[in-house]
Chain A
Amino acid sequence: MTGGSTTGDDGSKTKGTGVHESRQPWPLWEVFVRSSRGLSHVHAGSLHAPDADMAVRNARDLYTRRNEGVSLWVVPSSAIISSDPDAKGQYFESAQGKDYRHATYYTKSEGVKHL
């Protein structure tokens, strides 16, 4: 909220006529980048592209301009199935209170080598 700054907003608006295209918006794609061999692909961001080929090319230009990756995945955003954000804690609850699943739970072996 800093009027006219690169990152702000002054709140005031001017009127004008909109530009309309008949075209449907290009689909949204999620981009995953493998930064080097031996590591997994990690989500880098998203982009719009008309098809998969263009999505991969655009992903190269947008997310790997500085040797950030050796491999790219693009996935239509609509194909991603996620857990319910409204379920909040409950969905991951079963892992809570089960400290015995972590190595740090077992303290009696402290000081014993190679364990």
Chain B
Amino acid sequence: MASQNEGLHAVLSEEEQAGQTYFDKIIAEDSRIEPRDWMPESYRKTLVRQIGQHAHSEIIGMQPEANWITRAPSLKRKAILMAKVQDEAGHGLYLYSAAETLGTPRDKMTEDLISGKARYSSIFNYPAVTWADMGAIGWMVDGAAICNQVPLCRASYGPYGRAMVRVCKEESFHQRQGFEILLELANGTPEQRAMAQDAVNRWYAPSLMMFGPPDEDSPNSKQSMAWNIKRFSNDELRSRFVGMLVEQVKVLGLELPDDQISFNEDTKQWEHSPLDWDEFKDVLKGRGPCNAQRMERRRSAHEEGAWVREAAAAYADKQAQKAEVA
């Protein structure tokens, strides 16, 4: 038995024990862990993976929308869309910075994304085929992201929480502009209205799946909640989100493609039709409609930008040398 225990709990040095005690105390007080604090290796790894994946999602998420910048229906819409895509880049950078405080260099994270080692949200592997998709993405995809992210503002890791506060402030513009696009289309010509409804139909289920697998299939959530990284389970957040959509879709005058949505008075949760988790797993494994395209675009953008990064570094070196001589 003794040897088994040693296998499970590597013997901690005195310093590590003190670190663990302090870490446990901070978590129990619901206070924040900061970059230079001692933390368990598994906590650090979980955060690097989660924050990295989150950052990659923001960066890959620029693609479906950037695709519509040249075709936005007016100059105003074009300016708004550009601001939104720029925000997504910013969100990716805030998050990469937060992950870097855990000791993983930015270049390593980029490398992991491009090599396919790191993941990003499966939602961005669906195509944005009409202008109405800009509305549905803003309303539902960004809406789901906000639901997920608001509790993350209180994540136990300080830099992650602070990045999320900044992200959440900016996301509300994203959701409102999406809602407005759909509202205008819904009140437009019959064709425009049909286009809005079609976009809602296509993005509904994928946006619900953004919260991750059902609780019984998400064994690691428990640990993340014990560490105060996650505050609510996947299903709790999904239920909350469905409840919001049900009310908001009435204002749009459109319908959700699910006739089984209801509020369960006993559990106080919103319920919906079962989701196709096989499709979710397929998309995650790389068999979604746009996986290859998104990865290829990211890879070529990185490779085509290499000379810019090198030139900027060479220029900085040269200026530094000049300053030294002077």
Contact = CB atoms under 8 A, between A and B. Distances in A.
B302 A1 contact: no
A45 B90 contact: no
Given A21-B309, A46-B97, A16 B115 contact: yes
Contacts of A8: 50, 53, 212, 234
Given A1-B230, A14-B285, A46-B97, 12 more contacts: A3-B212, A3-B217, A4-B213, A5-B210, A6-B148, A9-B53, A9-B220, A18-B117, A26-B309, A50-B316, A65-B83, A88-B22
Interface string B125-157: 000000000000000000011001100100000
Given A6-B148, A9-B119, A62 B306 contact: no
A75 to B, nearest CB: 14
Contacts of B112: 18
A1 B46 contact: yes
B49 interface: yes
A31 B224 CA distance: 30
A101 interface: no
B286 A14 contact: yes
Contact of A15 (B107, B111, B116): B116
A2 interface: yes
B70 interface: no
Interface in A21-48: 21, 23-26, 28, 45-48
A4 B119 contact: yes
| Interface size grouping (class) on chain B | 35 or more
A2 B114 CA distance: 21
Given A62-B90, A66-B170, A4 B315 contact: no
Contacts of B152: 7
Contact of A9 (B50, B303, B309): B50
Contacts of B49: 9, 11
Contact of A51 (B106, B111, B319): B319
| Interface size grouping (class) on chain A | 35 or more
Contacts of A1: 46, 50, 212, 218, 220-221, 223-224, 230
Contacts of A16: 114-117
Contacts of A23: 306, 309-310, 313
Contacts of B163: 45
Contacts of B65: none
Contact of B54 (A6, A19, A45, A62): A6
B270 interface: no
B280 interface: yes
A65 B87 contact: yes
A85 interface: yes
Given A2-B221, A50-B315, A15 B121 contact: no
A85 B218 contact: no
Contact of A19 (B111, B121, B170, B234): B111
A19 B303 CA distance: 9
Nearest to B96: A48
A23 B123 CA distance: 33
Given A14-B116, A62-B93, A7 B148 contact: yes
Contacts of A11: 49, 220
Given A4-B280, A51-B319, A62-B90, A9 B117 contact: no
Contact of B212 (A5, A17, A54): A5
A31 to B, nearest CB: 10
Contacts of A82: 36
Contact of A3 (B115, B144, B218): B218
B121 A5 contact: yes
Interface in B202-259: 209-213, 217-218, 220-221, 223-224, 230, 234
B32 interface: no
Contact of A45 (B87, B94, B116): B94
Contacts of B303: 19
Contacts of B315: 50-51
8 contacts: A2-B211, A4-B210, A5-B121, A5-B210, A15-B116, A23-B306, A25-B106, A47-B97
